[in-house]
Chains A and B, each alone.
Chain A
Amino acid sequence: MRSLFGLTAIATVAGVPCAQAADVLFQGTLDSICILGLTTPGTLGVDAEGRLSSAAGLPGTVTVLTTGGTRLNVKAPVWTQTPAAYSSGGEVFEYSYLGLSGLGVANVDWTSANSDVALPVLPLSILTVNARAANPSDSWVDGTYQMKVEVTCSAS
């Protein structure tokens, strides 16, 4: 019986035509991906209301790329640097942002509250962020002021 099996195998090979084909497969799986990058810092100026504001300077920008199923979280500004002579406390921090190239759904007007929005599938897009601080005493001392707005993108 074993001998018969061997002969069968030989006959099968001899009967195969010359042409040979091979299937080639490429595969990739995308999970919910969100990439923030290429940030450019903004600049601050004093606006007509006496606030330190990027609206009186330049907004900051960050690029956003996501495969969808992600959330964009933005927190209110905080000081990262103030002049030594400046006494902080009681400021009203606000931010706003504007999404370009499909991020329009994520537009947020000036607010002090954290925002959290779901993002659709986005090719490379730009988020333009503004920040400002109102001083209760309405006075700023000379020196360098720096504030940051934390932007986070994560899976839902």
Chain B
Amino acid sequence: MLRQLKALAGAALLLPMLSAEGAACTLIATGGTLGLAPNGTTYTSELGLPSLVTISTTLLDGSFTITIDPPTLVQSPVGFVPISLEQKTVSAVSTLDLNFAYTSGQIQRTFPTQLLSAAVVTLHHRLNAASFPSGTYRTKTVVTCS
């Protein structure tokens, strides 16, 4: 009995999160890195590594919405003066059209759940400034699936 309960607990931890309507969504995102452009005015993941956001859903009725909040600068060296911080998404999966050009605003789109089981979206950040003092820069966004 004890073994059965332990096995049940383990299985439950792997379950996707189900809503009353039956749609479920799971997000896994990797961190990205930034690289400085030769002109010295753009610090971008296109010269580093993008974030890969894996979105997986259950094949149930309903829909789900992917929301990517506006990017924010959470760490920068003293004296740094940003001009803009932008993000863009690239999706190679035709059923998940989440291709957005660079924007400093929110990215959001709703999809029918049955069209997707799992997909990877590439997310880029681009920080623009007149110059970049030495130090560490961190940008952040929050991806939500609902």
Contacts and interface: CB of A to CB of B under 8 A. Distances in A.
Interface residues of A, number: 37
Given A2-B2, A30-B135, A24 B51 contact: yes
Contact of A9 (B12, B19, B26, B137): B12
Contacts of B28: 22
Closest CB pairs A-B (n = 9): A28-B34, A18-B19, A6-B9, A19-B146, A121-B131, A26-B32, A123-B40, A22-B27, A22-B29
Interface stretch (A45-53, A63-71, A143-151): A63-71
28 contacts: A2-B2, A3-B5, A7-B5, A7-B9, A17-B17, A19-B25, A20-B27, A21-B27, A22-B27, A23-B142, A24-B31, A24-B140, A24-B142, A26-B33, A26-B34, A26-B138, A26-B139, A27-B138, A27-B139, A28-B136, A30-B36, A33-B134, A67-B134, A121-B131, A121-B133, A123-B39, A123-B41, A124-B39
Interface size class of B (residues with CB under 8 A): 35 or more
Nearest to A27: B138
A87 interface: no
A17 B19 contact: yes
B23 A5 contact: no
Majority DSSP secondary structure for residues of A touching B: mixed
B38 to A, nearest CB: 7
Contacts of B123: 24
Given A26-B140, A30-B36, A67-B132, 14 more contacts: A2-B5, A10-B8, A19-B145, A20-B145, A22-B142, A25-B51, A25-B140, A26-B33, A28-B33, A29-B135, A29-B137, A35-B38, A67-B134, A123-B41
Nearest to B135: A30
B53 interface: yes
A16 interface: yes
A142 interface: no
A17 B12 CA distance: 15
A13 B27 contact: no
A138 interface: no
Contacts of A5: 9
Contacts of A10: 8-9, 12
A24 B134 contact: no
Contacts of B144: 19-22
Given A30-B135, A123-B130, A21 B143 contact: yes
B136 A27 contact: yes
A67 B37 CA distance: 12
Contacts of A22: 27-29, 53, 142-144
B28 to A, nearest CB: 7
A28 B32 CA distance: 9
Given A6-B5, A10-B8, A22-B27, A28 B40 contact: no
B133 A68 contact: yes
